[in-house]
Amino acid sequence: MNLKQLVNDKPLWDNFVEYLDDAISKNHTALEQSDNHVVIHRLQGAIGALRRLKYLREEMNGSDG
């Protein structure tokens, strides 16, 4: 699938963002329960990457955000 199709199909995009929010929530839960510094850093990176994906629509459509 073309990225432009994903970001310009509102129902599909909304479902994708819902998926991202759910994944962020699960990573937050794991982060709160972890006591391993390596795992904590990895989860923080994963959360950051998922949050950046939420801005994919603006990047693809050339918005200055």
Cα-Cα end-to-end distance for the chain: 24
pLDDT in tens, 44-57: 999 999 999 999 99
Place of tokens 């970001």: 7
Residue 60 pLDDT: 87
pLDDT at 64: 54
pLDDT tens track for 11-46: 999 999 999 999 999 999 999 999 999 999 999 999
Instruction: Give the C-alpha separation, 34 to 16, whole Å.
Output: 27
- Say which amino acid occupies 14: D
pTM of this prediction? 0.86
Per-residue confidence (pLDDT) for residue 1, from 0 to 100: 59
Closest CA to 6 of 50, 45, 51, 59: 59
